[in-house]
Amino acid sequence: MKYARLVMILLFAVIMALICGCTGPEKTDDVIAIDDNKPPELTAGPTAEPTEIPDPTDTPEPTEPVDPDPDHPYYLYVEKGSHTLTIYGKDENFNYTVIINTYKVAHGGNKTPTGIFTLSGDRERWHDFPLGGSAQYATPYWGNLFLHSPMYGTQDPSRIWPSYYSGDKGIGTDSTGGCLRMVTEAAKFIYKHCPEGTKLEIVNGSPKGTTSKDVPPIEKKGYDPTDVDALKG
């Protein structure tokens, strides 16, 4: 009986040994040797380029606005209804909104065209008119039409025609052949400071409601009182 039990125990041990041998870990040749004294190396994946933080000291200073048309500092505007010339300068945005001065002018009624014109560079210190009379500081704006000073008998600033200055045909009336006649101060400013290419706008009526003072009275016989150079001489 003891012998039978021993045989059964041995048989059971053999069977268990066979079972454990079949289900044990498979052998492999891919053996990784681990050095206990050295940490394992990690394989890094793709990395992005480091983002550069801008240096606040590299921020460019804001630039000053630049005048797109520095050669033409003024714009001329004439309302025929009020016989007023307005000289506009530029504001901080380089728009012609700043009133530099206003002057009374004489024009030719329907003989003076309306629209936007470009001043010519062919200017005359004195201009003689075919039908007589002369004018200072003549600046052409369209064909043979000019912006110019009062009328004189000759090329002499002491020979002004009073009736064409402040009389019945004077500045502030419809009395020209199409030109724009004004005091010498205004004509000289345009002649010297409004270069070729300056725009002149002429409109009927008075849509902006511009106004201007009457011309100053003649104090020294024969002279335009705004002609300071002639009066000094």
**Residue range 65-81, pLDDT digits in tens:** 899 999 999 999 999 99
Q: What is the pLDDT of residue 99?
A: 98
Q: State how beta strands 151-152 and 199-203 pair.
A: unpaired
Given a cut of 90, whether residue 93 has pLDDT beyond it is yes
Q: Which of 19-28, 53-62, 112-121, 199-208 has the lowest mean pLDDT?
A: 19-28
Give the number of residues written for the chain.
233
What pTM did the predictor assign?
A: 0.74
Give the span between the Cα atoms of 50 and 189, in whole angstroms: 63
pLDDT tens-digit map of 156-187: 999 999 999 999 999 999 999 999 999 999 99
Angle at CA of residue 42, ends 37 and 43, nearest 5°: 150
3-class secondary-structure state, position 157: coil
What is the pLDDT at residue 14? Answer: 61
Q: Cα separation of 46 and 40, whole Å?
A: 19
Nearest to 146 by CA among 119, 115, 109, 114: 119
Helices (H), 24-52: none
Per the model's pLDDT, the better-predicted residue between 107 and 48 turns out to be 107
- Cα 134 from Cα 126, distance rounded (Å): 7
Statement: residue 28 has pLDDT above 60? no
Which CATH number is 75-232 given? 2.40.440.10
Question: In this model, does residue 197 exceed pLDDT 80?
Answer: yes
For the residues 29-38, what does the mean pLDDT come to?
A: 51
What is the predicted pLDDT for the residue at 19? 57
Looking at residue 5, its pLDDT comes to 65
CB 126 within 8 A of CB 230: no
102, 147, 183 from 213: Cα distances, Å: 8, 18, 12
**Residue 204: what pLDDT?**
98
- Let me know: does 138 contact 146? Beta carbons within 8 Å: yes
Residue-range domain boundaries for the chain: 75-232
